[in-house]
Each structure stands twice: as structure tokens, then as C-alpha cells.
Structure 1
Amino acid sequence: MQIIALLVLLLCVLPAFSTPLDELMGGESSLPKQPLQMAELVPDHANSDLLAVRQGKVTLVMQKHTARLRPINSRKLDSSGREVLPDMVINWAQSELGEIIPDKRHLILSDNPYWDYFVGVGMLWPAQQKNGVRRVSMPFALVEKNENCVHNGVVVFDIDAANKAQHFYYQISSETCAYFKADFWGIGATIQTPEVELDSKQIIASYHHAKQQRLFTRPLRALTDKNPKLDVENFGLPKAVAATDMSVFGLVIDDVHYVSDCQTRAGLYPFCEQMVLPSYSTAKTLFAGVAMLYLEKQYGDLFEQPINKWVAQCQGSNWEGVTFAHLLDMSSGNFDSAGYAVDEASKQKLAFFTAKSNQQRLDFACNHYSRKKPPGSTFVYHTSETYLLGAGLNAYIKEKLGKDADIFNDVLHKQIFQPLGLSQITAVTRRTQDSTQQPYSGYGLFFSRDDLVRLIRFIGLQANASQQSSLLSSVHLQAGLQQNPENRGLTTDYAHIRYQHSFWAKKFDKRSGCKIPSWVPFMSGFGGITLALLAHGNSYYYVSDSHQYDWSEAVPELNKLNLICDN
């Protein structure tokens, strides 16, 4: 007993063990050659009653000489200069739960030539080697300028009541970005300002309201409690996708969200619920499709609007008879090659994807391709057509609501995202970098995984809502969701895949265990993103970046749960 008492006494009087993070934050150690483990960057739990200061402002000033970038099998993008992150300004309020809540948790545009950024809600914990200093671990994400690529990480900084300059450490060990994978890590200096005008109560209340809207979550393995033969790992497509290339995957069954971990190259990501996910081309449905269906329900004449009435650049014989509906279906009849993704992956298309102004993008969308087939007859995958549709929708809504109206702010976000209580991550979309600031429409949205599944749920419920309660055009939505057997949509290069009103659909037959053919609608995004609307109002999704678009590996497990076949 005396030995035990002595050990306890020693533990009480000796200074806390210095970790690599403590040494970095104290300026006592040079930058490590390798990133730390994610588990070293967060506390075991948040600490609420640690600091009298309940709000403040911190500016994280990046330093090039202490910034590191290590490409991971990436050869398509020059990494020179990309190791320097943007300076980040964070106005924050501390909740009673020890949460450090930034007032802006959406995409923030920066002066950095390569990156914009997100910051999320962090956790407060004591800094072991510094009396009176408290440590904040916070999720953040880099987003490539003009693009949808997202790199998720953690930043750790210290705050104290005396507002002394402190160090911070940041690290990124995962991404959803097929063409540029890299580890980032480094240290910098903080500038602290405690006296800032913030409505702390509103910031905290708004965040807690958004948290309350989330679906109830359980780990995927919980599904095996009632289904012991289920192999939940197959939902992550392990034969086709490396664990570090899979950002998230999961299922919603009876309004319970069964979730995966968020694997990184440095262990599990500690802020999985806040991981920023890019939409890529799922926005063709979640932006262009949903906005179209909403406006059709409101005004009743949208699908047949001619594009040449609303976009002055699209004139001449190529655009005669082309309607908003044709653009939603990517069937304008204007293309170079009808082969799947031949036009989309061509070098010429880079002129569209790298264009920074609305005029440049419209010039390409309206003038690059010539008429090959009648409108509405042939599906050819063109993101430029969805962009063109977005421009048409913006012009249409300005006539209805006024010259300052915006298709994203005043329709999609105000009428759909906000009423659903989606996270602040969804509040800003990618736009052209000019005075027009035209939303991309076909990509450029951002979500948490909860945002994604609740949007999928909303779409499924809307298809069968009453005429009085529905927000979206039921007839067109039901067609897109394969509820009209007489019209499966346009054929693609694959006999078992159709496309209609921005939704893909995949046919499952006896080979997949279905007694009668079943069509499953889904959304798809660049790099390997699938959002599938399954039987009985349930859903399956995965977000990855190794170009795996075939989710057949998950189908046997989905069948064990009776989620694929209609019969």
C-alpha cells in the first residue's frame, strides 16, 4: 500500500509527460518528418469549464518554412506552392459543452492562390505543459480554388486569458480528391483577439438546432445484431477501394443512419460527423434537379422553357427546340462523340472546367458542340449542359423574383436546405470568379454525411407526398425515380443503366437475386460517389476517390436486408 501511495504522490507532483504535440506547440521541437497520428490531436473528451473567456477571435498565420506537403501517388497536379495554407480567421463562441463553435462553418474564400477553406466545431482541452492555457482541436478542410476537391484535416491551437501569441499545428491525412492526394502538416503562429462583437447565444443555438435535426446514428456493425450473416465491410467495397480512398459509407434503414468510420492515412478521423464531402456530379440532381422540380411545382411551365429564350449566347440552329428538360436529361443533341464520357474527358473540355468567368463557360457550353441528333433523343454526358441549365434557371428566377434573385440562395438554399435544417456546410456553393458569380449547378456543393442522407430521404418522401404537401413536382420526380414503368428514361452505353431528369437508374434482375426486374435510382459523382435510393424508402451511399463507380460488391449484403428487389 505504501508503494502505491508513493506512486500516486509522484504522479501528482511530477510534470505531465511531454507529448510530440506539446513540444511542437511549445516551440521546443522541429517539425516532424512524418505526420502525427490523428488520435494525438484530440482529447479523450471535451472540457467545458476550463476558461473564463467564452468567445474570441483567432487568426492562424501560416508560415512557408514550417509547412510540409507529401504527395500520395499524385502526378496530375503540380504541388509546388500548394503546401502553404491560407491564413484562417476564426470568430468563435464556447458552449457549455466545451464546444468551440466558429460563426462561419461554410466555405470561406481566401486570398491564397490555391485554397479556400472550411472550419468546423472544435473541442476544448487543457494544455498539459502550460498553466492557464487551453487547447482547441478543430476540424478544417481545404478546397481547391475553382473546384470541388476537399482535403479534411485537424488544426490544434492554444488560447489563454492573457492573449499571448501561441503556436498552432495542423495536419491533413485524407481527402476526397481523385487527382491530388497529399499529406499536409506544419506549424504557425496565432494572433488572438478576445474582444469581438459576436452574438454567442445565437451562434451556439443555431449549431445545436442543426445537431438536433441529424438522423440518429449507429455504427454499421450494429446491423449484424439481427443479421449475423451480414458482412458490413462489403458496403465499403473493400475489393475495389482501398480503405484510405473511402471517405465515408453507410446506410439509412427506417430512419436510422448506420455509419462507417472515417479512415485516414494517420488513423481514424476524429470529426467524422463534420467531415466535408464534395458533391461533384451528384449536384446534377441535388442542385439542378431539385431546383427544377421545385420551380416546376411552383410555376408549372419550367420543363418546356426554351433555353435560347433565357441564355442569349445559345442561338442558332443548334439550339432550336432545346428545352430546360432536355438539358436536365443531357440530351440537347449537340455533341462531338456519343460515346460515354468521351466528350467529358477530352482535353478540349478543360477549357470549360478551368474557366473562371460565366462568359467563358457559356461560350463553351453554347458554341463548342454541333447538332448531331434531335433534342431529347440521345443521352450524352455533358457537365456543360447542366451549367447552361443553371444559367437558364437563374435568368428565369430573376424574372419571377427580381433582378437580384439567385437560383442557389433564393431557391435551393432558402426553400430546401434551410427548412430541412441542413448544416452550415451546405450554405455556400462554388461559383464563377467574376461579377456574375454564376453557380456551377452540376457540381460544387458541399455536405456532411448527415446532410446527404437527409436530402436523399427528402427526395424519396417527396415522390409520394400529396399534391397539397409536396414541394417538388411529383409527376417528374416519380419518373426520375423509376415509378413510371412505361418510361424508364434515356438509354446509356450500358443496357442496364438509364438516365432521366438527372437521376441514374440501374436494373437488377435474377442474377442479382430479384424475381422480377427492379430499377434502383441513384446519383453518381466524380471519383467514386454513389447515393442510391433503395426499396422501402431506405438508402445506401459511399463517397470515395479511386474512380470506383460499380457498387456490385455491396449488392449481396443489401439483398440480405431486402433493400434491392421490389418483390
Structure 2
Amino acid sequence: MILPRLFVRNLLLAACLFATPTMVAAQTYLDEDFQDGDANGWQSDARKGKIGLTTYAGNISLKMTRDAYAIRKLEDISSPRVRISAVFAAEKLEGDDACILEASPDGAQWFEIGRVEDGQDDAVTLHPVTQVLDIESAHLYLGARIKGNASNDTCWVDNISVVGMRRVADLPTSLDPDVLWAGQVAVAPVSMQAFAPPTEPLAPLRSLSGTLRFSASQATGFELLEDAFNYAPTADRLNHLPAIEMGFVHDGTDLIPVQRGPRPSDHPDWEWIIEPGVIWRRVNGHVRASLPFALQERNANCLHNGVLTFEIGPDGQTSDMVYQIGSETCAYLQFNLWGSAPITVDLGPLPDSDATLRAYREEVSRRLPTRPLSELSFRDQLGHSTEVTPEAMTALGYVKNGTHFTAPCPTRFGDYPFCDVLDLPSYSWAKSMIAGVASMRLEKLYPGAMDALISDYVPACRDWKDVTFQHALDMATGYYASDVYDEDEASEGSRQFFIADSHEQKIDLACTLYDRRSAPGETFVYHTTDTYLLGTAITAFLREKTGRAEADIFDDLIRPLWDALGTSPVVRQTRRTYDDVGQVFTGWGLTLHRDDIAKIAAFLHDGGRIKGKPMLDPDMLSDALQKRVRPVGLRAVIDNQRYKNGFWAWNAGLSLGCEADLYVPAMSGYGGLTLALIPNGHTYYYISDGHAFAWARAAKASHGDTPFCEISS
């Protein structure tokens, strides 16, 4: 779990924030988490089972057994469309037993929203169910029930919500010229189609390279959709965009920012990422520019994706900039934002324009070939609604035989028009992509390096005498407070670690948060602090071995690999502490494009080779990818899951009908990021933020396409 810094902001700022009339919460008709300890408003019937509230680890949910149900009536619904969602955990389901969420306009005719079935009933995993419905009346019935036939058939339901939404079909598909040119306020969001170029854009007739300047500005509209940690009362500039100065060049219809990747700002919450877009001639003689962008949370990994557009007239006059955000990968903070603001554009040649053009042309030329995901015969099993909430989806893809099959990137205002450069967070994928890969590279360059002691390279951990680099990579240091999954990671001390700006603060917490509980190498306990310690130790190790004071885990071990693979500029940098140390976060903090995901996965599938040359320690990579006769790694959370060298592995053998255990390696990231390195050489991934991590359907579909039960080292 990775928590950001916003929740520590001063509560005294609340009055200032809520005085802003444009910041409103989305219309929420139900937000039921049962934490008040009652189920008021719900009519329940236990029938032959039992129903009632139950508490586990401080969380209260509604427990139902056998055939119990609960119904609630909602009144005064004014939205034309609502998103209905909940999460279920289940136990002892068999056959056609199921936990079911359903809705009805009249209490008689019911429509299923979603269900959890046999195979999803480990009593631990929370499975989201959701659906968007058009509403014809002002009231709605909502029902949660269990379809079972035995007293031990059990469902827990929680986090039930009904939220009003717009219909994309009702949104304007073009921008009002007065919003661009006459200073008219953008009073409502529009379809993402309004920001998209025509199918065959015409290139400008003259060079339009130059510099755009934008002063910090409050958004015209801001709708808060999700605020799990109650940030809104404490973040006074959440609905303000930072100032920016951006050089850009164009190559035909391609419009390329000179500076790529996250851009530091003095804004307390946000940092810009501007991506390449399109510039084209319009029939009225104007030139329109459209650029994808993201707001990345300061000192964190959340990304809120949007598009900005402006026009340049024949005389060089510039319109206002219009912008809109309608999607994110951020489980705890979600919003719609839109507005317009004056900008200045100074046209003229830039000193580094030729290098910018060459780099971008190479970037595009080295992308993997793509095809629509719909061309796969098993497309309906990928990103299935029983495994990941459609409304929470940001990106979905599958790589097979060198071809990258991709799905559209949905937003609340229609499909994102620049999916190839949509900015995606790594969260804890970085534990594999940075910590895991860097460790394998280190061991390749310096055999035996992973046996080095943390205490020798991190002075603040001087008491960790027998904890090795390998132990930290495996999250088996023996230092923890609780071995119950996520208790340490969700603790107050862990939160303080994440929000700390400086390396000194982070490393002090990482070394002192926990006491010694077991011998190193015995017990897996999920700690991002362990991965941060490892990154710190590896950097110190490199500086000792090379004699270079600037040696760095990312710049020396990771970036050369990404450069050779032809990845995008955004993944060739990473989040660091904000002090002079600039320590790599190691366990989170990458920004990716979907092509980067496909390339890095292909590199791992290929044995960590570049141009045929192995770049990683082969034994460590084999262990991470479970290419041994027996599974490798410590038990991780549940019996059929392992963790080794920064990678998870799930035993898919039983689910696939294999004769023996078959552990499939995977990466997992906070909020709903999953990447499976399937043994048949294929890669399946999705990036979402609805706390979903399941991928058994996709594994079965991949096995049906190219069987891998018998594949081994």
C-alpha cells in the first residue's frame, strides 16, 4: 500500500477550499461502508441463513450466509446514469453458489450488477463488482444477497456505492469557439473527441515551434469523485494547475515537448508531465494544437490524465488554453477537472529542436507493432468484469509473439485520444522493475554482491548485522511488527515514511520502525521500507566499487538497460527524494507508457538479454520467473503464492487443470496494477485503480491459446 502526502496538510485550510464554488463532490446517492456499526436503511431477511455486521481488523462489513439478502431503496435520484459498485469476499462457495449485487427500478424486476463465484472464495481477497446503469426514474432498489445451499456458504459485502454520472453520448463533441477566443468560461466538460485531431490531420504550412507559458490558475470546474483519505479539506490548491513554461517543436503534425517526464514545480500538490500530441490546420485558417498531459502527485505516484488544446491564428495570435481531466490511476483520489486560461506562445526556433525531433522519431520507430485487442479470439476473457472493474480501468494489453494487442483507454468523457503516450504509474511494479532488475544486474557485474550486509552500507541500520541485500529484496529481513499482510504497510509509521520528503527522514524510519522478530530469510512481510533500504544500500555499494561519488542504482544499473531497449523518456527517470541526496524510491515511482510495459516484459521473457547478450544474473532471473523444478520463494500472504527477487508468483496449476503445481510470475502494484509473465512467452497486464488484482480468467484464456502446463526450465 502506498500512501501520499496530501492527508497531512493543515486542516485550517478547509474554509478557504470550500469557499470555492467550483469544487463540488459528485452526486453520491449511497456510500455504505458500515463503519458506523449499523445497517440502518437496509431491509434484510436471513431466510435459512444468517445476516449481520461483522468486524475484522477494524473493518466492519455485512456478512451473509446460505441464502440471506438485504435490500435498500434510494430516493430522489436526479442523474441520468449511475455507477453502482461494491466489494465482496467469499468463503466455501461451491457449484453455482454466488455473492450477488443487483438493482431494480421497482423492487420486482432485478438486474444483476455483478457476482463472485466458486474459485473467488479464499475469504481474503476483495472482489469488486460494478456496473453503470441508465436511470429512468427518481428511485432505485439495491440488493445484496448470497445464493447458497449450506450454512457455511458465506459472503461479506462492503463499500457499496451509487454515484451519479454523465452520459458520454450527451457531451458536446466540439469546443465552443468563444471558450477559445472570447474568454468565455468553460462551464461543463466536453467529450474527449473535442480534443482529438481529425482522422487525417493537415500539417501547418509554416514552422510553429516555440515556447508556451501558462501562469498557475484555478480550474473552472472540479468534481470530487473519490477522496478516501479526506484530502479535500486539507489541500488548498487541489483544483489549481501549476504554472509551466514549455518549449515545443513540430514535425509535420506531431507536436513534441522539448522536456519530457515529470517537471518539478512549486505547487504543493501537483507536477506536470506533458506528452507529444498533434498540431493541424483548420479550415478557418487557424492551427489547432492538442497535447496530452498528466498531473502527478508531488512525492507520490498518482497520475491524473488530461488533454489541453489551444489555437494559433494566421497573425500569430494565441487563443486561451482549454484543458480537461477525466481519468486517473489513483485509488484514493479521483476527480473531474476542466477549465480555460490565458496563455502566451512565443514562436521561433529553439536551440535543441533538432535533437528533440531525432529522439522522438527514434522513440516512435522503436515501438512494438500494435493491433487491436479485439483481434484476439479470447479478448472477452481479458480485463473481465469479474476480475477488474471496467470503470476503474486505465490501460489493458496483451503481448504475443512480438505484437502488442491493446485496448482503448477509457475516461469518464470518452476514450482518451492519445493512448500511446498515456502516462501510467508503476507503484510497486518498481519493486520488480527497479529493485529486482537492478539486483540481478548488480549480481551479474559483481558476483556475490547480494550477500553483502545492509548494515555495512546503510549506517542508520547499524543493528541489522546479519541482514543481506538478498533478504531486503525478498522482504524477509526479520524486522517487522506484524506478519499479517498489510498491517505494517498500512501503519502510521509507514505513512510517515511515504510522506517524508528527505532521504534522512525516510532512511531513519526504514531502519527503526520495526524490531527484530525472526531470523532473516524466514518470514515474508510486505514492506516498501525494505525495498527503499535496498536501493540505498546498492547505491552505496556502487560508489564503493566504482569510486564514483555520483554512482546510482537507477542511473548505473537501470537506465542503460532502458536506453538499449528503446523505452520512452518518461520511464528513463524515476521519483527521488526532494533533498540534495535525491535517493531513488526504488519500490515505487516510475512513470510508464504502455509500450514500455511491453518492452520490459519482453526483455525478462528473453532471459534479460539485449542483442543476445545476457545483462542479468541468470540464476536470480530464473528464480524470479519460477523456472525451477520446484517453486522458489517464501510463502506470500496465501499458500499458493510466493515472492522472490521482487516478483510475485501464483500457483495456476490447479486452476488450469495441470497435473502439477505451476507458478506464474507476476508484478503487482497498489490500487489495481497486474502484469503476468505467462510461461508461454505471452504477457498480460492491466492498470486500474479499483483494488482488483485477479487474472485467473486471463491465464486460462492464454493457456487455451498456447498451452503451457508442460513448459519448464
Structure 2 residue 197 is the aligned partner of structure 1 residue 52: no
Secondary structure at 2:460's aligned position in 1? coil
What secondary structure, in the 3-state scheme, does the structure 2 residue paired with 1:156 have? strand
Q: Give the conservation status (yes or no) of the 8 Å contact 1:67–1:84.
A: no
How much does 1:48 deviate? Answer: 4.5
Secondary structure of the residue aligned to 2:246 is strand
Q: What is aligned with 1:276?
A: 423
* Partner of residue 190 from structure 2, selected from 29, 33, 36: 36
**Aligned mates of 1:197, 1:40 — CA distance in 2:** 29
> Once structures 1 and 2 are overlaid, which stretch shifts more, 149-158 or 186-195?
186-195
Hey, what does 1:25 align to over in structure 2? 180
What amino acid is aligned across from residue 50 of structure 1 in structure 2?
P
Deviations 1:445-492 (A, max 9, x none): 1110110111011011125899x8200000111011111224521112
Q: Is the 8 Å Cα contact of residues 535 and 585 (structure 2) preserved in structure 1?
A: yes
Q: Please report how far the alpha carbon of residue 29 of structure 1 lies from its aligned counterpart in structure 2 after TM superposition.
A: 3.1
| Structure 2 residue 710 is matched with structure 1 residue 566 | yes
- The 1:563–1:203 alpha-carbon spacing in structure 2 relative to 1, beyond 3 Å, is farther
Gaps of 5+ in 2: 1-171
Query: Does 2:693 correspond to 1:524?
Result: no
Residue 181 (structure 1) aligned with residue 181 (structure 2): no
Pairs within 5 Å for 1:167-566: 167-224=320-377, 230=378, 232-316=379-463, 319-401=464-546, 402-413=548-559, 415-462=560-607, 469-486=613-630, 488-562=632-706, 565-566=709-710
Task: Kindly provide the CA deviation profile for residues 234-289 of structure 1, in whole angstroms up to 9, marking residues without a partner as x.
Answer: 31131343323101111111111111110110000000111111000010010011
Distance, in Å, in 1 between the alignment partners of 2:631 and 2:450 is: 17
Does the Cα contact within 8 Å between 1:62 and 1:189 map onto a contact in 2?
no
Aligned partners of 1:535 and 1:566 also within 8 Å: no
Aligned mates of 1:428, 1:341 — CA distance in 2? 28
* Aligned length in residues: 536
Higher share in strand: 2
SS of residue in 1 equivalent to 2:607: helix
Give the conservation status (yes or no) of the 8 Å contact 1:464–1:474. no
2:451 partner SS:
coil
Q: Which amino acid aligns with 1:257?
A: H
TM-score by structure 1 length?
0.91
Alpha-carbon distance change, 439 to 351 in structure 1, aligned in 2, over 3 angstroms: same
1:4 aligns to what? none
| Aligned equivalents of 1:361, 1:158: Cα separation in 2 | 45
Which structure is higher in RCO with an 8 Å CA cutoff and minimum separation 6?
A: 1
Quick one: structure 1 residues 480 and 40, their matched pair in 2 at CA, closer, same or farther if it must change by over 3 Å? same
Q: Does residue 1:143 correspond to 2:291, yes or no?
A: no
Distance, in Å, in 2 between the alignment partners of 1:355 and 1:18 is 43
Structure 2 Cα separation of the partners of residues 464 and 273 of structure 1 = 25
Rounded to whole Å, the distance in 1 between the matches of 2:251 and 2:608 is 39
Sequence identity (%): 34
Q: What SS does structure 2 have at the residue aligned with 1:244?
A: helix
Q: Tell me the C-alpha RMSD between the 2 structures.
A: 2.0
Q: Which runs of 5+ in 1 are unaligned?
A: 1-16, 225-229
Contact 2:388/2:693 (<8 A) preserved = no
- Does the CA-based 8 Å contact 2:226-2:332 persist in structure 1? no
Distance of aligned partners of 1:327 and 1:46 in 2 relative to their CA distance in 1, 3 Å threshold: farther
Q: Is the 8 A contact 1:358 1:438 kept in 2?
A: yes
Measure, in 1, the Cα distance between the counterparts of 2:256 and 2:616. 34
Alpha-carbon distance in structure 2 between the residues aligned to 1:337 and 1:175: 32
- Give the aligned partner of residue 107 of structure 1: 262
1:222 positional shift:
0.7
Q: CA 1:526 to 1:566, structure 2 compared with 1: closer, same or farther past 3 Å?
A: farther
- 1:89 maps to which residue? 245
Cα shift readout 1:480-512 (whole Å, capped 9, x = no counterpart):
111122452111221110011111111122333
Per-residue displacement from partner, 1:116-137 (whole Å, max 9, x unpaired)? Answer: 1111111112356xx5431101
- Tell me which amino acid in the other structure corresponds to 1:109: P
Are the structure 2 counterparts of residues 177 and 28 from structure 1 closer, same or farther at C-alpha, using a change threshold of 3 Å?
same
In the TM superposition, what whole-angstrom CA distance separates every residue of 1:122-160 from its partner, at most 9, and x where no partner exists? 1112356xx543110110001000000001110001234
Cα distance per residue 1:6-44 (max 9 Å; x no partner)? xxxxxxxxxxx9953422112253222x31100111121
Given the superposition, is the C-alpha separation of residues 205 and 557 from structure 1 closer, same or farther in structure 2, using an over 3 Å criterion?
same
Letter in 2 for 1:84: H
Deviation at 1:61, TM superposition (A): 2.7
Structure 1 residues 384 and 375, CA gap change in structure 2 (3 angstroms):
same
Shift of 1:87: 1.6
1:61 equivalent to 2:220? Answer: no
1:18–1:554 distance in 2 versus 1, CA, 3 Å: closer
Distance 1:151 1:563 in 2: 38
User: What's the offset of the Cα at 1:360?
Assistant: 0.6
What is the distance in 1 between the residues matched to 2:186 and 2:610? 57
